[in-house]
Structure 1
Amino acid sequence: MSRSLTARVMQAYKGRAGFPPGAQSAAGTAGFSSRMKEEFHSQGGPAIPLPTMQQNLNYVYPQIFWVDSCASPTCAPSAPIATCPPPVPERRRRKQSNKRDGTCLCFLVVVLLVLLALAGVGLGMFQIVQLQKELAELRELTSTGHVPSSMEKRIGLPNVTAEKKVIRKAAHLTGKADQKTLPLEWVATLGHAFTSNIQYRHRSLVINETGLYFVYSKVFFRGKICNNLPLDHMVFKQNPAYPASQVLMEDRKMNYCAAGKMWARGSYLGALFNLTKSDSLYVNVSETALVNFEESKTFFGLYKL
């Protein structure tokens, strides 16, 4: 058989059979040889031995195998590798931190202003309540007829309007001129004189509550002619439960002047005593005519501790 005839037969059979190039196996090659032989006989060609045909086929059409790394059905294209985002610029970070710091500072300032306003409102309300209380106490004292005098403030007694429940017991009496009888008589309402929760009755100060009291008295003596008569100054206590009076304090002046000259002497008494309810205190002197009854020189008083 000529080579041109064999090539023509192979091309015709290849077009009919539809073999893919390079995909023949050993079994496929044998089948192909037998079919080729039949086809060749039908066209009147001479018989070709099978080995010779097989050799020619292997020589003309060598087996070709396609190698694909992704021939498996499970093979899938690899996923794209995630890339890192670009770094944030330093300026942007600084701007964000500055914004946060500014927001925190504004919030702190607002909180401080609110707290200051609340404190001011609370203080104002407290002062208003205190003023209302003092006004109510002052109205009550005015209705009862007792108003603190200037002497109470001068000797340091607490204001009665400020302390309604605690009222100090005190009294300060000043001398009364033109008197000749004993005990001495005093002024209780004029000038520096006052009484606070202490009664002045029958020339005596009457105690209405048992406790510790500081009692004081001063008498100023003066004369135009010196005769050196003894000058006695005494404070007495009397109680209805005891018939006789008791001497609390006493002072005597001797040889206090020179003959034929004007003279003046003062006598002061003061001490702490435990007095009981209904005690009455009064003052006696030996020479009433020699007493100077000015309110700043002769006085008598007490106050409860």
Structure 2
Amino acid sequence: MRSAGTAEVGVAYPPVFVVDGQAGYPLPPVPRPRRGFSAQWPLYVLVSLALCGLAVEACFIYKLHSSTTTPSDVGRVDKISQDRDEIEIRPTRRTNPMVKPSKPTAHLTAGPDRPRADGILLWNTEGDSITHELKYKEGGLEVQREGYYFIYSKVYFTEPKCNMFTHTVLRRTPRYLGDDLQLMESRRYHCSHSRELQSCYLGGVFHLVKDDIILVKAQNHTLIARRGPYDNFFGAYMI
């Protein structure tokens, strides 16, 4: 048996070192936190908040879209649209079909009655005709309010063969005795074998008083063509 302090022949033993626990050796330094992370964390927080906001907005839009496009609501909307179309197509009755003029106004169109023997033309007071504060009386318009009036008249006629066609606007007033006063006149003389259709228009401003009557007269009135209310008309309005 070998002793502990003896060494075996031929065997090398490592030297024995004694560790002194009282010796002061410096400890390794504690690693410091990286500055990059501390500087970027506010950016991470902002990005997270933005993503959360987008998610909340997406959920809100989805719920809103789902609530407005449910099958029952779609059918209800279609029914409301169909009912609205039917209401719009259905004709409605207007309580006031015509707005009254603010001043005396009249527009008369040709009617079925032929002119009188003296050439005074007769007019139609229905359809597109208007009489407001101007009374229709025996082919003329009786003035109810004194003022300045624009008077106009148009007739459509067939040119005579070597004869005169005269278109006249007259004024009949109780202030003057005798014949009617002539306000406007147009004369056309044509001598040809062909008979063409022509039109004549008269218009002017005149001062009229109450109870005055304005009329339209045509010489050779048998030549007047009556095809529709747009050919022959007569009217006046206060300016």
TM-score by length of 1: 0.44
How far apart in 1 are the matches of 2:233 and 2:165?
Answer: 17
Residue 178 (structure 1) shift = 4.9
How far apart in 1 are the matches of 2:195 and 2:176?
Answer: 42
Residue 191 of structure 2 corresponds to residue 250 of structure 1: no
* Change in CA separation of 1:222 and 1:178 when aligned onto 2, cut-off 3 Å: farther
1:197 is aligned to 133
Find 2:201's aligned residue among 254, 268, 288: 268
Structure 1 SS opposite 2:222: helix
How far apart in 2 are the matches of 1:227 and 1:188?
Answer: 33
1:138-180 CA-partner distances (Å, limit 9, x unpaired): 97xx7xxxx52xxxxxxxxxx33xxxxx832100001123514
2:166 is aligned to 232
1:5-31 CA-partner distances (Å, limit 9, x unpaired): xxxxxxxxxxxxxxxxxxxxxxxxxxx
Equivalent residues in 2 for 1:131-170, closer than 5 Å:
148=98, 159-160=99-100, 167-170=102-105
Find 1:289's aligned residue among 198, 222, 229: 222
* Change in CA separation of 1:239 and 1:277 when aligned onto 2, cut-off 3 Å: same
1:183 is aligned to 120
Residue 153 of structure 2 corresponds to residue 220 of structure 1: no
Equivalent residues in 2 for 1:5-16, closer than 5 Å:
none
How far apart in 1 are the matches of 2:115 and 2:123?
Answer: 13
Letter of the aligned partner of 1:187 in structure 2?
N
> Conserved in 1, the CA contact under 8 Å of 2:125 and 2:131?
yes
Higher relative contact order (CA 8 A, sep 6+): 2
Equivalent residues in 2 for 1:37-48, closer than 5 Å:
none
Name structure 2 gaps, 5 residues minimum.
1-93
How far apart in 2 are the matches of 1:178 and 1:188?
Answer: 12
Letter of the aligned partner of 1:271 in structure 2?
G
How far apart in 2 are the matches of 1:298 and 1:289?
Answer: 14
> Conserved in 1, the CA contact under 8 Å of 2:113 and 2:122?
no
Q: How many pairs are equivalent?
A: 142
Structure 2 SS opposite 1:227: coil
TM-score by length of 2: 0.55
How far apart in 2 are the matches of 1:262 and 1:238?
Answer: 34
> Conserved in 1, the CA contact under 8 Å of 2:108 and 2:130?
yes
Residue 267 (structure 1) shift = 0.8
1:154-207 CA-partner distances (Å, limit 9, x unpaired): xxxxx33xxxxx8321000011235142311000122x2111121101111000
How far apart in 1 are the matches of 2:133 and 2:212?
Answer: 14
Letter of the aligned partner of 2:175 in structure 1?
A
Residue 262 (structure 1) shift = 3.0
Q: Using the aligned pairs only, state the percent identity.
A: 28
Letter of the aligned partner of 2:173 in structure 1?
N
Equivalent residues in 2 for 1:62-101, closer than 5 Å:
none
* Change in CA separation of 1:282 and 1:249 when aligned onto 2, cut-off 3 Å: same
Structure 2 SS opposite 1:230: strand
Structure with the higher strand share, 1 or 2: 2
Name structure 1 gaps, 5 residues minimum.
1-137, 149-158, 161-165
> Conserved in 1, the CA contact under 8 Å of 2:154 and 2:233?
yes
Equivalent residues in 2 for 1:10-29, closer than 5 Å:
none
Letter of the aligned partner of 1:268 in structure 2?
Y
How far apart in 2 are the matches of 1:219 and 1:274?
Answer: 23
RMSD between aligned alpha carbons? 2.0
How far apart in 2 are the matches of 1:209 and 1:178?
Answer: 28
How far apart in 1 are the matches of 2:206 and 2:120?
Answer: 20
1:24-52 CA-partner distances (Å, limit 9, x unpaired): xxxxxxxxxxxxxxxxxxxxxxxxxxxxx
Structure 1 SS opposite 2:163: coil
Residue 271 (structure 1) shift = 0.3
Letter of the aligned partner of 2:186 in structure 1?
D
CA radius of gyration, larger in? 1
Residue 274 (structure 1) shift = 0.9
How far apart in 2 are the matches of 1:214 and 1:288?
Answer: 24
Residue 213 (structure 1) shift = 0.5
Segments of 4+ in structure 1 off by > 2 A? Answer: none
